[in-house]
């Protein structure tokens, strides 16, 4: 199948290369903090206007600066955001402000929850996403985002897929785009073909992608074994506007990956792994300027992820070579809300947003010979919520108040749990002078226990066969957060056309009944017995800064975060809190914006504030370079050099050294029909 994909995509690339035509001009780069977000309030607004730690990165910036092979490359530049995983598995867990796993960060693709999870030495909850499919990454940090879904005590990471407008230019009814990239470290290839068409009331975009990566070398020149992987993916997104204001949207996403999984980073059981992820979403929106009481949205989705693994290399009496196991997680859900707007004149407006949402996770694990079904047990969890939020704007003062109700039910293995709670939020912002806004927030969040946390029951595999106990008495987590910040927004500051944006946020988050893994008995010696239990509380504090100055011919940006987390029972550091980081990005635009060139430096501190020394990481500094040149209206060249100085480093929480020096060359060819 991989060979067929490669041949088909390469053939398409060759055809396009021989038939380039002239199309319209490229758009100017957007300023990052001016990008649109929805995760803060469910209404579209720019990140700089959101009274929260919100950030966004759009498609144009991804193309110009990253050519990402993994979404990790993009997320690692956002303050307060990091990722967890292994470079063997293409799955990514998003960490926001030191919280991750089991839905603490609500990860969404086109509004569909990404709740796949299996117990391993890696993260407990990953998403599979092809960066080529993305139009925008939308992040809101902290439980102030719980209006966007239950459980998000860490925040929301929403990934919006391309639509036809991202491919088609003004006056075109059809277009096709081919992108080919080659990476020197690991001999990696990407082939991507995207096509779009539209009429007066209908448009559709489709994409096929293939990624083939070999084993890479780290900064020491050591080949990291079994990091090769084949990933194929495709998506279709269609929109129909049957009447003014009405829009129906449907998307299908298919993601397939073949990779090698190890039980531990450098030793342990090896398993070939085949992953298939299939997502369907169907949405309806209504919005018209003459109906301010209706800004309506409804969406339903189904997300199915199946991981099938086969043991190779060495076996045991209980689990011989060739033993197969599977993890199947299906999430179905819905999301319905409406915003009614009132204008009282004199600069006084009020927006009332209200709605309901819910989802159900069904986990089915099969492992006849091993303990996969004990460590990732089968079960079902359903969560339903309702919310109401009012946003009053009274001159220079903004007040947002909200209430969210959540309830859940969990069952499996003869255990049943349920619970509910109301969580409040209030935000007050003041804009004493144009361009300067200060804000403060108190927000609460609520996360129900996950199936695995509640029902895990069995023995850890050899050579450490310690018991893992279920806990039917787990309580949900509740978070109480205080947050304060400043937004700065100035245009034409030093010269005509320039722009300065900055967002500074400080937060204090106390999570009561935090669910963590701990030793509950010293027996059996020397390992002990483990169980998920409620910690009394954990406390997370931090500051985040994001700033950009764009003079049009050159630009510079800064992103920084400093986060600390403590288990209040023991005084020990919370093991999921990332290292301090400063990211500086700068570049120039020349030849009427046809050439963009620049670089990025990430200064990452050591992280040894953990109980488990094996999780600790040393400090490192990484320099990346990027360049894009628009050869013609139909052809664009990109060059990225990652880890310029070939530094050997391992990001905190990850299991393997990241790649050393890597040069990535990309060619994009686009054809449009008027």
3-state secondary structure string across 347-373: CEEEEEEEEEEEEEEEEEEECCCCCHH
- Across-strand partners of 279? 253, 303
Q: Which residues neighbour 647 within 8 Å (Cβ) at sequence distance 6 or greater?
A: 219, 620, 621, 622, 660
Q: Which residues of 31-43 are buried (b: 16+ CB within 10 A; e: fewer)?
A: bbbbbebbbbbbb
pLDDT at position 31 is 60
Split at pLDDT 50, 70, 90, the class of 463 is confident
Q: How far is C-alpha 212 from the chain's CA centre?
A: 22
pLDDT at position 42 is 76
Distance CA 469, CA 519 (A): 10
For residue 387, pLDDT beyond 60: yes
Q: In what order do the strands lie in the sheet with 105-109?
A: 53-58, 134-141, 155-161, 105-109, 112-113
Based on its alpha-carbon atoms, the radius of gyration of the chain, rounded to whole angstroms, reads: 24
- Residue 573: which domain range? 2-673
H or E segment at 61? helix 59-65
Mean pLDDT (whole number) for 360-375: 92
Distance CA 339, CA 342 (A): 10
Residue with more model confidence, 35 or 354: 354
pLDDT at position 157 is 95
**Helix, strand and coil in the chain, % to nearest 5:** 10, 55, 35
Read off the tokens for 31: 């300023």
Q: In what order do the strands lie in the sheet with 458-459?
A: 458-459, 467-469, 529-534, 515-521
Dihedral angle sign, alpha carbons of residues 158, 164, 166, 167:
positive
Distance CA 138, CA 157 (A): 6
Q: Where do the DSSP E strands lie in 316-414?
A: 324-345, 348-366, 379-394, 397-412
Q: How many CB atoms lie within 10 A of CB 534?
A: 17
> How many residues does this entry show for the chain?
674
Residues 422-435: pLDDT tens digits? 999 999 999 999 99
Q: Which residues neighbour 317 within 8 Å (Cβ) at sequence distance 6 or greater?
A: none
Mean pLDDT (whole number) for 37-55: 84
Read off the tokens for 224: 């990291």
H or E segment at 588? strand 581-590
Could you tell me if residue 640 is left (phi over 0), alpha (psi between -120 and 50 degrees) or otherwise beta? Answer: beta
pLDDT at position 347 is 87
Per mean pLDDT, which range of 116-125, 268-277, 549-558, 662-671 is the poorest? 116-125
Per mean pLDDT, which range of 139-153, 203-217, 616-630 is the poorest? 139-153
- What average pLDDT does the chain have? 91
pLDDT at position 327 is 96
446 in Cβ contact with 423 (< 8 Å): yes
For residue 475, pLDDT beyond 60: yes
Distance CA 126, CA 108 (A): 11
For residue 11, pLDDT beyond 60: no
- Across-strand partners of 436? 433, 488
Instruction: Locate all alpha helices (DSSP H) within 486-634, ordered by sequence.
Output: none
Distance CA 490, CA 487 (A): 10
Task: Count structural domains, the chain.
Answer: 1
Residues 501-530: pLDDT tens digits? 999 999 999 999 999 988 998 888 888 999
Question: Which residue, among 306, 230, 312, has the nearest Cα to 270 in the 3D structure?
Answer: 312
578 in Cβ contact with 542 (< 8 Å): no
Residues 121-176: pLDDT tens digits? 889 999 999 999 999 999 999 887 667 778 899 999 999 999 999 999 999 999 99
For residue 355, pLDDT beyond 60: yes
Residue with more model confidence, 43 or 333: 333
190 in Cβ contact with 486 (< 8 Å): no
pLDDT at position 322 is 94
For residue 26, pLDDT beyond 60: no
Mean pLDDT (whole number) for 545-558: 96
pLDDT at position 46 is 87
Q: Under DSSP, is residue 59 helix (H, G, I), strand (E, B) or coil?
A: helix
Split at pLDDT 50, 70, 90, the class of 30 is low
Please report, for the domain that includes residue 664, its CATH number.
Answer: 2.40.170.20
pLDDT at position 315 is 82
- Across-strand partners of 124? none
Mean pLDDT (whole number) for 644-665: 95
Q: Where do the DSSP E strands lie in 165-245?
A: 174-183, 188-198, 202-213, 229-240
pLDDT at position 37 is 78
Q: Under DSSP, is residue 378 helix (H, G, I), strand (E, B) or coil?
A: coil
Question: Which residue, among 281, 323, 328, has the nearest Cα to 451 in the 3D structure?
Answer: 328
pLDDT at position 18 is 34
Read off the tokens for 301: 């989705």
pLDDT at position 143 is 80
Residues 241-263: pLDDT tens digits? 999 999 999 999 999 999 999 98
Distance CA 328, CA 377 (A): 11
Split at pLDDT 50, 70, 90, the class of 27 is very low
For residue 579, whether the previous peptide bond is cis, meaning omega lies within 30 degrees of 0, is: no
Q: Under DSSP, is residue 178 helix (H, G, I), strand (E, B) or coil?
A: strand
Strands 467-469 and 529-534, bridge-based pairing:
parallel
51 DSSP 8-state letter:
S
Q: Under DSSP, is residue 527 helix (H, G, I), strand (E, B) or coil?
A: coil
Strands 105-109 and 188-198, bridge-based pairing:
unpaired
118 in Cβ contact with 102 (< 8 Å): no
Dihedral angle sign, alpha carbons of residues 212, 214, 220, 225:
positive
Read off the tokens for 103: 């839905």
């Amino acid at each position: 199948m991989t060979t067929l994909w490669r041949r088909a995509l390469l053939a398409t690339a060759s055809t396009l290369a021989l038939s380039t035509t002239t199309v319209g001009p490229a758009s100017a780069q957007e300023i990052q903090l001016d990008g649109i977000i929805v995760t803060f309030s469910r209404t579209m607004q720019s990140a700089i206007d959101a009274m929260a730690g919100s950030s966004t990165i759009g498609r144009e910036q991804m193309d110009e600066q990253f050519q990402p092979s993994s979404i990790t490359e993009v997320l690692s530049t956002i303050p307060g955001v990091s990722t967890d995983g292994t470079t063997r598995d293409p799955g990514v867990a998003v960490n926001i402000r030191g919280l991750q796993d089991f839905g603490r960060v609500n990860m969404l693709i086109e509004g569909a929850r990404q709740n796949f999870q299996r117990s391993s030495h890696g993260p407990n909850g990953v998403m599979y996403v092809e960066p080529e499919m993305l139009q925008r990454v939308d992040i809101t940090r902290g439980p102030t985002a719980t209006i966007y879904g239950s459980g998000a005590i860490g925040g929301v990471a929403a990934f919006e897929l391309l639509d036809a407008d991202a491919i088609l230019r003004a006056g075109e009814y059809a277009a096709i785009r081919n992108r080919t990239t080659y990476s020197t470290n690991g001999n990696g290839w990407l082939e991507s073909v995207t096509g779009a068409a539209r009429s007066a009331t209908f448009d559709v975009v489709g994409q096929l992608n293939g990624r083939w990566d070999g084993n890479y070398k780290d900064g020491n020149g050591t080949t990291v074994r079994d990091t090769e992987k084949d990933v194929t993916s495709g998506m279709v997104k269609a929109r129909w506007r049957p009447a003014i204001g009405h829009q129906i949207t449907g998307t299908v996403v298919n993601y397939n990956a073949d990779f090698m999984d190890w039980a531990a980073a450098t030793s342990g059981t090896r398993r070939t792994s085949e992953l298939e992820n299939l997502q369907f979403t169907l949405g309806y929106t209504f919005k018209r300027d003459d109906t301010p009481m209706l800004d309506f949205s409804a969406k339903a989705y189904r997300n199915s992820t199946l991981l099938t693994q086969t043991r190779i290399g060495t076996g045991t009496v209980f689990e011989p070579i060739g033993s197969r196991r599977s993890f199947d997680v299906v999430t179905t859900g819905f999301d319905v809300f409406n915003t009614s707007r009132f204008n009282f004149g004199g600069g006084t407006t009020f927006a009332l947003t209200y709605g309901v949402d819910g989802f159900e996770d069904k986990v089915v694990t099969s492992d006849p010979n091993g303990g996969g079904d004990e460590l990732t047990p089968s079960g079902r969890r359903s969560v339903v919520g309702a919310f109401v939020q009012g946003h009053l704007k009274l001159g220079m003062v903004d007040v947002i108040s909200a209430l969210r109700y959540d309830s859940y039910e969990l069952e499996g293995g003869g255990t049943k749990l349920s619970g509910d709670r109301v969580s409040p939020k209030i935000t007050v912002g003041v804009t004493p002078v144009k361009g300067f806004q200060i804000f403060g927030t108190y927000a609460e969040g609520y996360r129900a226990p996950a199936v695995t946390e509640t029902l895990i029951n069995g023995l850890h595999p050899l050579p450490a066969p310690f018991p893992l106990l279920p806990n039917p008495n787990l309580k949900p987590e509740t978070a109480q957060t205080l947050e304060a910040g400043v937004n700065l927004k100035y245009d034409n500051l030093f010269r005509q056309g320039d722009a300065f944006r900055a967002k500074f946020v400080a937060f204090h988050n106390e999570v009561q009944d935090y669910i963590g893994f701990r030793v509950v008995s010293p027996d059996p010696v020397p390992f002990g017995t483990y169980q998920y239990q409620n910690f009394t509380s954990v406390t997370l504090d931090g500051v985040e800064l994001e700033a950009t100055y764009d003079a049009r011919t050159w630009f510079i940006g800064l992103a920084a975060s400093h986060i600390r987390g403590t288990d209040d029972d023991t005084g020990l550091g919370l093991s999921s809190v990332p290292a301090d980081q400063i990211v500086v990005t700068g570049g120039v635009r020349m030849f009427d914006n046809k050439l963009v060139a620049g670089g990025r430096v990430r200064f990452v501190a050591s992280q040894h504030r953990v109980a488990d020394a094996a999780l600790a990481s040393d400090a490192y500094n990484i320099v990346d370079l990027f360049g894009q040149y628009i050869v013609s209206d139909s052809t664009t060249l990109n060059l990225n050099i990652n880890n310029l100085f070939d530094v050997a480093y391992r990001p905190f929480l990850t299991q393997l050294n990241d790649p050393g020096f890597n040069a990535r060359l990309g060619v994009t060819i686009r054809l449009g029909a008027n």
